[in-house]
Amino acid sequence: MIGALKAFYAGFRGFDEVGSTVPMMDGPLKPNTALDDAQVLLKLPAVDNLTAPAGGLVCSQGTGLLRLHTSGYGLTAAVDRTFTSDITCLAADPAGALAIGLDGRGVVIQGGRHDRVHIKDADGEILRAPTAALFLDSDTLIVANGSAEFTMADWKRDLMNRRSSGSIWRVALGSQARDATPLARNLAFPYGLAPGSGGTVLASEAWRHRVVTLDASTLTVPRAVLSDLPAYPARIATAAGGGYWLALFAPRNQLVEFVLREEAYRRRMVSDIDPAYWIAPAFSSGASFLEPIQGGARKKLNMLKPWSPSWSYGLVVRCDAAMRPLASCHSRAGGNIHGVSSLVDVGGALLVGAKGSGAIVRLEDGVRL
């Protein structure tokens, strides 16, 4: 009763009562140009899933698994293997095996003693959108299934249909049946995984703008350790000096939050308009005048209007062991390193994969904590 009265009063007075506000980027998340100032190691369209297996560095580009090699002051890429579906996640174990997520087709293991194992489902649930994977050991794999309804390619539909059918599974690779134990259900697009402390796993939950912790052995209710983020989180990487790096691929803005609450408009938009032109977050933006709020509504005298909502952004957050933000590196609305989806801490530097801008950049020790 009290809640209904508060909502009525909020509507009468015209202020927000339903949580459509977006938190400011301030404090440790204060905007800067660190990503745009970083050294570009390689331009690679749609680069994703930066991973460091034993003695090497790999990434994905669409259906291709690529090996990366140092060349002068940059990197070169060579195709290691191609698949019939886009690669959606990569994970490496210390013995050299790779877990490779395939859009709509589950996870395959390459190398190691479980070479060629193909995990299509987990306890009967099809791994339709394997967004992240994590080896606890050579025989145990944690897999995040972003959505039970949509593939990774349809991630915008999952968001704009306001779904929360994601799940996280513990898969016993050593068992004949590949026994799978659910660790969490009803998640709003789990996108990243990292080892936690005391037998826990950290997971980023993109559509709820948070990072949660959960038990690595049994089904539990996830507990938020970092919440109300101003952008949509993607992958989490362990930092060499302790703590974590968190990638965020697109900013939240009030217009998207408003559309998510407007049921009739949102349904019409989803049914009638190409997803590339939805009022929704994006890995990259500004390439077409068909996008919402483009042209004169976005720029004046070739300069971005500061009040114009941005659909894409570049953001990396440095967190401590308790997932508290310490510092951040940005590529702002007019920047060139947008859609950061993956990162890896190797060789005393952080390599950042910007899927939207198609670039791998190196953050030097000067921006590390």
Query: With bands split at pLDDT 50, 70 and 90, how would you rate the model's confidence at 15?
Result: very low
The verdict on residue 13 lying in a domain is: no
pLDDT value at residue 368? 46
pLDDT cut 70: percent of the chain above it:
89
The verdict on residue 140 lying in a domain is: yes
Is the per-residue pLDDT at 124 higher than 60?
yes
Mean pLDDT score across all residues of the chain: 91
The verdict on residue 16 lying in a domain is: no
Query: With bands split at pLDDT 50, 70 and 90, how would you rate the model's confidence at 341?
Result: very high
Low-confidence winner among 127-136, 304-313, 339-348 (lowest mean pLDDT): 304-313
Low-confidence winner among 172-181, 288-297, 309-318 (lowest mean pLDDT): 288-297
Give the C-alpha separation, 310 to 232, whole Å: 13
Max intra-chain CA distance, the chain: 67
The verdict on residue 2 lying in a domain is: no
pLDDT value at residue 6? 57
Mean local confidence (pLDDT), 214-219: 96
Please list, residue by residue across 97-134, b when 16 or more beta carbons sit within 10 angstroms of its beta carbon and e when fewer do.
bbbbbbbbbbbbbbbbebeebebeebeeeebbbbbbbb
Mean local confidence (pLDDT), 19-27: 83
Give the C-alpha separation, 133 to 152, whole Å: 14
Mean local confidence (pLDDT), 226-241: 96
Mean local confidence (pLDDT), 132-149: 97
The pTM for the full model equals: 0.92
Give the C-alpha separation, 299 to 283, whole Å: 20
pLDDT value at residue 348? 76
Q: Report how many domains make up the chain.
A: 1
The verdict on residue 298 lying in a domain is: yes
In terms of DSSP H, where are the helices of the chain? 2-13, 34-37, 155-160, 254-261, 263-272
pLDDT value at residue 167? 98
pLDDT value at residue 298? 65
pLDDT value at residue 282? 96
pLDDT value at residue 299? 66
pLDDT value at residue 82? 97
Residue positions counted in the chain: 369
Mean local confidence (pLDDT), 26-54: 96
CATH number at residue 172: 2.120.10.30
The verdict on residue 19 lying in a domain is: no
pLDDT value at residue 347? 73
Give the type of residue at 78: A
The verdict on residue 15 lying in a domain is: no
> Which of 176, 291, 317, 298 shows the shortest CA–CA distance to 237?
317
Query: With bands split at pLDDT 50, 70 and 90, how would you rate the model's confidence at 17?
Result: very low
Is the per-residue pLDDT at 369 higher than 80?
no
Q: What is the pLDDT of residues 266-287, one digit of tens each?
A: 999 999 999 999 999 999 998 8
Q: Using CB atoms within 10 A of its CB, is residue 257 exposed (0-12), middle (13-18) or buried (19+)?
A: middle
Which residues span the domain enclosing 97? 25-364
Mean local confidence (pLDDT), 287-309: 71
Low-confidence winner among 5-19, 88-102, 153-167 (lowest mean pLDDT): 5-19
pLDDT value at residue 366? 44
The verdict on residue 166 lying in a domain is: yes
- More confident site: 11 or 103: 103
Is the per-residue pLDDT at 4 higher than 60?
no
Beta bridge partners of residue 56, listed in sequence order: none
Mean local confidence (pLDDT), 28-55: 95
Mean local confidence (pLDDT), 246-271: 95
Give the C-alpha separation, 178 to 140, whole Å: 10
What are the C-alpha distances in Å from 368 to residues 72, 318, 328, 345?
A: 23, 8, 9, 11
pLDDT value at residue 177? 76
pLDDT value at residue 66? 98
